[in-house]
């Protein structure tokens, strides 16, 4: 299976290194607007050295496309005419939530979304259509929130926060716009639940060393409460478990035994 990775930052690099060691896949193509990211990654690849290609060439020639860039790239992929019958693994699920009209038009591609930092996603999918309330509360270290558009727009001085503080409370659209690199978990939760009324809170905690996600879902089925405490990856905006989850999706693609939906 020919694999192309779009976005060679922290997540793309870890997935590339996994693929490089797995004989079931061949990493053939890389694309990133940051040439330094690509050169640093290629130095770490030992087996099959991938080609550096254009965005269009990668889409056209890959059997499996991995997006690990940003939500703007997601839209470009969805609009590309060559994605038919391709397998596509999206990491920036906020881009899918923003472009549901384009996603609904995809009929022949296989779309994969890792559960990422969310435990219990299978249960949420199972009760989709029966949910009455759904809330996700995300607590992050200060460093993981730096540079977010919401922080900049509202002139929030993160360095002055000296205890746990709710810095955002709103809906999914507002969260994606304000925290595009922090809120893929909420976007994935929405895509699984199909629940329009999802409520999102983001808490900044100067003492936190981990990313915490608490989900409370209720309906005529009962109540689902899930809490995950995830160590950040080398990128403080991304949980390490998000990378491990994507690796598991890759394993499932080639496995004849699939656990969970």
pLDDT tens per residue across span 103-159: 999 999 999 999 877 888 989 999 999 999 999 999 999 999 999 999 999 999 999
- Residue 76 has a pLDDT of 98
Enter the pTM of the model: 0.91
The tokens describing 104, both together, are: 């609904």
The CATH number that domain 121-238 falls under is 3.30.360.10
Q: Which residues contact 47 (CB under 8 A, 6 or more apart)?
A: 20, 21
Among residues 213, 228, 233, 250, the one annotated as catalytic is 213
Position 120 scores a pLDDT of 85
Whether 181 and 148 have beta carbons less than 8 Å apart is answered as yes
Give per-residue pLDDT as tens, 211-255. Answer: 999 999 999 999 999 999 988 778 777 788 889 999 999 999 888
* pLDDT tens track for 166-197: 999 999 999 999 999 888 899 999 999 999 99
What does the alpha-carbon distance between residue 189 and residue 185 come to, in Å, rounded to a whole number? Answer: 6
Distances in Å between the alpha carbon of 11 and those of 8, 72, 185, 204, 217?
Answer: 7, 17, 15, 23, 29
Active site residue 35: no
Residue 107's pLDDT is 93
Burial of 153 (0-12, 13-18, 19+ CB in 10 A): exposed
| In the predicted structure, residue 256 carries a pLDDT above the cut 80 | no
In CATH terms, are 2-112 and 121-238 the same topology?
A: no
CATH of 2-112, picked from 3.40.50.2300, 3.40.50.12780, 3.40.50.720, 3.40.50.300, is 3.40.50.720
Predicted confidence at residue 30, as pLDDT, reads 98
Residue 217's contacts (CB-CB under 8 Å, 6 or more residues apart) are 124, 127, 131, 133, 134, 135, 193, 223, 224, 225
Cα separation, 119 vs 121, in Å, equals 6
Instruction: Enumerate the domain spans of the chain.
Output: 2-112, 121-238
């Amino acid at each position: 299976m020919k694999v192309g990775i779009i976005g060679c930052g922290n997540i793309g690099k870890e997935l590339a290194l996994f693929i490089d060691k797995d004989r079931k896949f061949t990493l053939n193509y890389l694309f990133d607007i940051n040439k330094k990211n690509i050169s640093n990654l290629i130095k770490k690849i030992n087996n099959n050295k991938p080609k550096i290609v254009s965005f269009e060439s990668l889409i056209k020639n890959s059997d499996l496309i991995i997006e690990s860039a940003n939500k703007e790239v997601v839209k470009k992929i969805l609009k590309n005419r060559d994605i038919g019958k391709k397998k596509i693994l999206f990491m920036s699920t906020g881009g899918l939530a923003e472009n549901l009209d384009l996603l609904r038009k995809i009929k022949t591609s296989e779309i994969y979304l890792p559960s990422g930092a969310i435990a219990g996603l299978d249960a949420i999918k199972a009760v989709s259509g029966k949910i009455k309330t759904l809330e996700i509360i995300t607590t992050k270290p200060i460093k993981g929130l730096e540079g977010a558009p919401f922080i900049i727009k509202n002139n929030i001085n993160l360095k002055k926060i000296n205890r746990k503080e709710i810095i955002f409370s709103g809906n999914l659209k507002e969260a994606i716009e304000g925290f595009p690199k922090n809120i893929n978990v909420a976007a994935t939760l929405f895509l699984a639940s199909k629940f329009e009324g999802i409520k999102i809170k983001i808490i900044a905690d100067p003492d936190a060393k981990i990313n915490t996600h608490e989900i409370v879902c209720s309906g005529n089925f009962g109540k689902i409460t899930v809490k995950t405490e995830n160590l950040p990856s080398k990128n403080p905006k991304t949980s390490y478990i998000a990378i491990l989850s994507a690796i598991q999706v890759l394993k499932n693609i080639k496995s004849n035994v699939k656990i969970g939906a």
